[in-house]
Structure formats: C-alpha cells, structure tokens
Amino acid sequence: MLAFPSFATPLAKSALRWIGPRAGISSILLVGLAALASMASAERRVEGIAAQVGNDIVLISEVMEMAGPVEERMRQGGASQAEIARVRKDALERLIETRLLSSVVERLELEADREEVDAAIAAIAEDNGLTIEQLLSSIASHGLSVEEYRSKIRGEIERSKVVNTMVRSRIQIDEEEIQALYDEEFGKQRSGGKEFYLRHIVVMGEGPKASSNEEACAIVGDARARVASGEIEFTKIAQQITDVNPQQGGDLGWMHEEDLASWMSENIRELTPGELSPVIEMPFGCNLLQLVDQRAFARIEYEQAKVRLQSIVFQRKTELEYSKWLEVLRAQTYIERKAEFGG
C-alpha cells in the first residue's frame, strides 16, 4: 500500500489509501472535517498574488484560508507574529506543491473521473459504517458542500496517481532492510509466558477530578459498581473519569506478564476474562482494572511479520523518494514567492 508523505494532509493520506487496498479509508475526513470546514468557510479577507508557479498563481486568500484554522489556535495560545508568519509560509509551500502536482496530472493525463470519486466516497461511507447520504450529511453539517468535498477527494486521488506513476517504480526493497526492521521491532521479544489484555481506570488523588485519595477511591468505587451491574460499559465510564488514556477508554491492549507492574499482576491473577479487579489504592490515586482476555504468548517470527514490515519499509522509502522527486520538480519550475512570504 502506497502511503503519502508524512507532511501531507490527513485527507491526502486517506485518499491515497483508497488507491491501494480498501483498508484504512475510514480516516479520510471524519477526523479532519472540522479543519476543512473552517478552511472552506473562511472569509477571503485579502486578495492578491502570494506566488507564481510556472504559468499558475497562488492567491493570498488561498494561503489565509489554509493557514486560518491553525493560525487562530496559535493566536489564542499567544503565538508571536513570527510564528504566525511561519504557519503562512508553510501553507504557501503546500499550495505550491498542489500547483506543481496539478501540472503533472494535466501533462500525464492522470485526472480522476467521476466514477473514481464516486467509488472513493462509497468506500469511505462503507468503512465508517455509514450510508453515502449519512456521510454527505455529516460533511454538510460541518459547513463543507458536497462539491467542495468531491473536489478535495478528486485532488487527492490525482496526487496519489502522480506518486504511483513518478515515484513507485523507483523503489526497491532488499531483504536486509526488512530483516533490520524485524530485528528493531521484534529482536527483544519474550520467549514465552502469558499476555493479558487489560483496561485501566485511574483517578489521581490530587488531580482534576479529586482532591484526595479518599475522594478518588469513591469515584472509582462508584464506577466499578456501575460496570459490574451492567449499567455502563467499562470503556464508556473510563472516557468520563480516568485521568490517563481517556480517549482510548482506558484500553491498555495486550501486555506481557513480565511487563506488568507488581500491583497489577497481583490484582488480575485470579480474574477470568471480563471480570473487574477490586478498587486498588496507590500513593498516586485509585485504580480499577478489567481483564478483557488472556493468552499464551507466541513469538512473532520473521515470516509472519514480513509482509507488514515490507509495507513499512516501502512507505518510508516512498516518502523519501517523493521528497527527492518533488525537489527536482521545484528546481525545474519557475517559482516566485512574494516578499511577505519569504520571496
């Protein structure tokens, strides 16, 4: 699967995933919709030319729209004018890249047709468990029109085609590179023992939700009773009260028994999957563990990991080759940046 360079937008990465296997498309704009909507609805406060790229131009208003959401947050955080200027400069460079890629798309006839855009949108909806109508309704609720959304999808598909055409053929992967990554990721893995899938709630004794261990333990005890009675799921209450990892619902994932703290091992030893630990008071606050599942640890051998590691190596080399190719394209194209953007 071909991955877009790490400095590209979340939309670019998601649309590029659509060009390859269907897996991964779900991230395409449901995570970044608010930022795109802000860009789409930003007031075109300033008009003029920010840069010339070959025979094309980038407008100052386009730079302001792209930089707007980040700039607003930075101003609220007290950022200096120099920091704001860097944000605008970065936005201009992304727009220059867009113009460069557009010229390649036109020259190589890599335009995305309506059917490709329709298929991408259908895949996005399916992977997010939505109908197309529900997806488009969600987009509209964030202030982005259907045509604006389709235009962005089209642009990212075309970028993906350029990367596939101009970069992918240059990439070769040696067995030694895959082996080196295997050694890096799995060289120190355990040889046996057990793994436990855990969820964890912790309320700090002197934290945002409690002023003492006694208060923290009362909160955790109430949560335990509600989960045990079936009133609420562990992950839901964890999102509400835990001071660590609330976004993941307290999910710790699989952990080897040798990596567990002693207080954790002691409190899950007698549990069966699905059961809760007692409320565990520690000097820093109060805890609750849920044992989701357990299994014997099985080493991941090279052949098992090879396909995934090969994909990672490929993605890394794609990013590197794309950067090199883009720099050559920049050098071959007349680009003039206006003074306020570092020209």
Q: What is the pLDDT of residues 70-97, one digit of tens each?
A: 988 899 889 899 999 999 999 999 999 9
Given a cut of 50, whether residue 317 has pLDDT beyond it is: yes
- Summarize pLDDT for 141-182 with one digit per residue, the tens: 887 889 989 998 999 999 889 999 999 888 999 999 999 999
If pLDDT is split at 50, 70 and 90, which confidence band does 190 have?
Answer: confident
- Summarize pLDDT for 100-144 with one digit per residue, the tens: 999 999 999 999 999 999 999 999 999 989 999 999 998 888 878
Higher pLDDT, 4 or 274: 274
Please, what is the average pLDDT of the chain?
85
Q: What fold characterizes domain 10-173+308-341?
A: Triger factor/SurA peptide-binding fold (1.10.4030)
Contact indicator for 47, 59 with CB cutoff of 8 Å: yes
User: In terms of Cα–Cα distance, which of 319, 15, 7 is closest to 167?
Assistant: 319
Euclidean distance between CA atoms 153 and 132, whole angstroms:
14
Contact indicator for 25, 340 with CB cutoff of 8 Å: no
Question: pTM for the complete prediction?
Answer: 0.59
Which of 7-21, 66-80, 322-336 has the least mean pLDDT? 7-21
Given a cut of 60, whether residue 320 has pLDDT beyond it is: yes
If pLDDT is split at 50, 70 and 90, which confidence band does 245 have?
Answer: confident
Q: What is residue 323's predicted lDDT score, i.e. its pLDDT?
A: 92
Domain ranges of the chain: 10-173+308-341, 194-296
Q: What is residue 339's predicted lDDT score, i.e. its pLDDT?
A: 73
Q: Quote the percentage of the chain above a pLDDT of 90.
A: 69
Q: What is the mean pLDDT of residues 200-215?
A: 94
Q: What is residue 292's predicted lDDT score, i.e. its pLDDT?
A: 97
Euclidean distance between CA atoms 178 and 13, whole angstroms:
23
Q: What is residue 42's predicted lDDT score, i.e. its pLDDT?
A: 42
- Summarize pLDDT for 20-69 with one digit per residue, the tens: 333 333 444 444 444 444 444 444 445 799 999 999 999 999 999 889 88
CATH match for 194-296 among 3.20.20.140, 3.10.50.40, 3.30.70.330, 3.30.413.10: 3.10.50.40
Contact indicator for 52, 330 with CB cutoff of 8 Å: no
Unique residue bearing structure tokens 């071909």: 2
Q: What is residue 3's predicted lDDT score, i.e. its pLDDT?
A: 35
If pLDDT is split at 50, 70 and 90, which confidence band does 5 have?
Answer: very low
Given a cut of 60, whether residue 291 has pLDDT beyond it is: yes
- Number of Cβ within a 10 Å radius of residue 158: 21
Contact indicator for 99, 89 with CB cutoff of 8 Å: no
**Cα 215–Cα 221–Cα 225 angle in degrees, nearest 5:** 150
If pLDDT is split at 50, 70 and 90, which confidence band does 342 have?
Answer: low
Q: What is residue 340's predicted lDDT score, i.e. its pLDDT?
A: 72
* Strand ranges inside the chain, DSSP E: 49-53, 56-59, 194-204, 251-256, 280-282, 285-296, 335-337
Assign 130 to helix, strand or coil: coil
Q: Quote the percentage of the chain above a pLDDT of 70.
A: 86
